[in-house]
Amino acid sequence: MAKITKKAAQERINSIRKDLEIHNHNYYVLNAPTISDFEYDMLMQELMGLENMFPEFKTSDSPSQKVGSDLETDSSSLEFVQINHKYPMLSLGNTYNKDELFDFNDRIAKSIQTPYTFSCELKFDGTAICLSYKNGELIRALTRGDGTKGDDVSRNVVNIKSIPQKLTGSGWPEEFEIRGEIFMPFEAFDRLNHEREENEETQFANPRNAASGSLKLQNPLEMRERGLDCVLYHFISDDNPFKTHIDAIEAAASWGLPTSTYSRKAYSIEDAIKYIEYWDEKRKTLPFATDGIVIKVNELDIQRQLGFTSKSPRWATAYKFKPEQACTPLLSIDYQVGRTGAVTPVANLEPVQLSGTVVKRASLHNKDQMDLLDIHIGDYVYVEKGGEIIPKITGIESSKRPLNARRPDFPMTCPDCGATLVRDEEQAKHYCPNIDFCPTQIKGRFVHFGSRKALDILLGDATVDALYQKGYIHTLDDLYNLTKEQLLTLDGWKDKSADNLLESLDKSKSVPFERVLFALGIRHIGETTAKMLATHFKSIDALADATRDDLLEIDEIGEIVADELISYFNDQRHKSIIEKLKSAGLKMAIDENESKKLSDKLQGLSIVISGVFSISREELKQIIESNGGKNVGSVSQKTSFIIAGDNPGPEKIKKAEKLGIKIISEDEFNKMLMQ
């Protein structure tokens, strides 16, 4: 990794963490990833490299230290019961580099003095599942969730034909868990998307998203028609009678459980790599999606000796196949303006087949990426489509560059409103600063405002565009002045459509404050940050009056977010919109019942938490606040004490000891509250 200053490293670490949290939510919860697996893995590797180079910035809540979660965070809209896993459900480390497989093997060899073998398995591209059996009967099925707890999807899993509710044969332990992947074969995926196309419904981007979305359907009978399948590959029991992983999986197959017929035993890492090389080409003939190979130490006693990190087992790793690539001419470049004003260059390509679909367009990210590629109009470009999502240009074939190829001019002004663009150095993006008068940003803000995670109003792109073109809406508060007569002037609108929209607007007035704050569309304020701010400040007025220092006192609020909030609330136009939304009836404060204190035992105390606890950090923060305490993110002379869990941040502990600040355990904290 290139040399980097400590300050720049900290800023980059914070930036990557925020990006990864967003991508985790898009992938695991929304089933709508916006980057490829490869790009995600490269971001994760960059983060891990920086954290290793600057260990003082490594924290237990970093995406590098925890499992991506598929759990809904809004407790008011939970659709499935969440249950704790008996054993943590971790993820796998991965690599795209075969040399790192030798490093993986060397680490094992240095720790273990006895011979060992490997189990080599296809990495099915689906959604993780944990099945629990007792006395030969299926009693529960949980998703991975956040690794500690998962959604109980038992009612849906029993509708997957390959998963037995009762085992056959004999020899199973009284209780055991077996984990694996629920996936959708290509045939079922194509059939489902064809049906959705005919019904004018949004099609799934790939089989993985389709499988994950189907598993969480509210109607189990509807899920039965989706054609899901399952493969199981990890057996766990307190009463494990097997000596090797392969023995356990073969026994599971004899009990009627679905296991892979493609796995094989390898006697060396070289043997495992031969297996990888075979399937890197052969996988294209499989009837289901696979994105790599999993290599596991076969001997269970050695697995136990090697143990786990906070995120993954030390005895297993995944080799990921690189995304498919194609080379095609670049015809032109469009510049698209997003909801927050970010201008993204999008390449128009000579149509080319890639991963089973025809690709005509691909993102170029930003001007820096274009400059790095030295891209010219007319170039032959390499396109990758990892994860079957928006394709990306990853390189050019300079030997094919036409003599008349020209370098594109990145616009200096907004393609939509003509305002002079500004550059965000942190994200290497150009933005249109005309947030209140740029048509694309205005309409995008309305779509975001009405989205399901925000106010859940019946506002699609077409409706917003029609209302905007009619001049009915310009600022968010205009929505609450809409009349039925105005709506009936829109093309194709009848009484029912108008009534439905007005009804959804009325229902939005009962949406909790944190979602209203998220709905405002303040740059850098996602769901999690909005909830954090709402919990801390309790009302929009208190947040608007907060100083920069007040904001920076909050854990995980950095300078960029603080400056954005100050700028937003200093704008009189935004203050006016908020007042009008407040007058319309939207909740601009947390209900007293929601913020009711349990006690004043922590009144006036500023508390820092650091490390991993028996409950989530968010739950611990809520306990502190409900007992009158204040959560702060950094250690200072004003800090009352630190609650230190497992693996606390060494710099925080060192600073606390230097300042003479008390450090207590989670148990000591709980005893404090019970006194």
Q: What is the pLDDT of residues 427-454, one digit of tens each?
A: 678 999 998 899 999 999 999 999 888 9
B/e letters for 369-403, b = 16+ CB within 10 Å, e = fewer, are bbeebebbbbbbbbbbbbbbbbbbbbbbeeeeeee
Q: Crossing angle for the helix pair 559-570 and 572-584, nearest 10 degrees? A: 80
Mean pLDDT value across residues 113-131: 94
User: Which amino acid appears at position 141 of this protein?
Assistant: A
Say if residue 596's pLDDT is above 70.
no
Predicted confidence at residue 209, as pLDDT, reads 84
Reported as a pLDDT band with limits 50, 70 and 90, residue 22 is confident
What percent of the chain stands above pLDDT 90?
Answer: 48
Give how far Cα 524 sits from Cα of 41, 63, 265, 426, 587, Å. 22, 18, 48, 12, 21
Reported as a pLDDT band with limits 50, 70 and 90, residue 74 is very low
Predicted confidence at residue 78, as pLDDT, reads 45
User: How far is residue 323's CA from residue 341's CA, in Å, rounded to a whole number?
Assistant: 30
User: How far is residue 438's CA from residue 502's CA, in Å, rounded to a whole number?
Assistant: 26
User: How far is residue 675's CA from residue 596's CA, in Å, rounded to a whole number?
Assistant: 20
Predicted confidence at residue 296, as pLDDT, reads 97
Predicted confidence at residue 593, as pLDDT, reads 58
Give the residue, 75 or 583, on which the prediction is more confident.
583
Give strand pairing partners of 539: 589
Predicted confidence at residue 634, as pLDDT, reads 79
User: How far is residue 335's CA from residue 364's CA, in Å, rounded to a whole number?
Assistant: 10
Q: Are strands 630-631 and 606-610 parallel, antiparallel or unpaired?
A: parallel
Say if residue 197's pLDDT is above 60.
no
Mean pLDDT value across residues 93-105: 91
Predicted confidence at residue 447, as pLDDT, reads 92
State pLDDT tens for residues 277-291.
999 888 878 888 888
Residues with a known catalytic role: 123
Predicted confidence at residue 69, as pLDDT, reads 54
Mean pLDDT value across residues 43-71: 75
State pLDDT tens for residues 651-670.
788 888 888 999 999 888 98
Report all structural domains of the chain as residue ranges with CATH numbers, in order of start: 6-65 (1.10.287.610), 82-320 (3.30.470.30), 325-419 (2.40.50.140), 439-510 (1.10.150.20), 513-584 (1.10.150.20), 606-674 (3.40.50.10190)
Give the residue, 598 or 475, on which the prediction is more confident.
475
Predicted confidence at residue 77, as pLDDT, reads 36
Give the residue, 313 or 340, on which the prediction is more confident.
313
Q: Which helix (H) or strand (E) holds 131?
A: strand 127-134
As a whole number, the mean pLDDT across the chain is 86
Predicted confidence at residue 511, as pLDDT, reads 92
Say if residue 76's pLDDT is above 50.
no
Say if residue 470's pLDDT is above 60.
yes
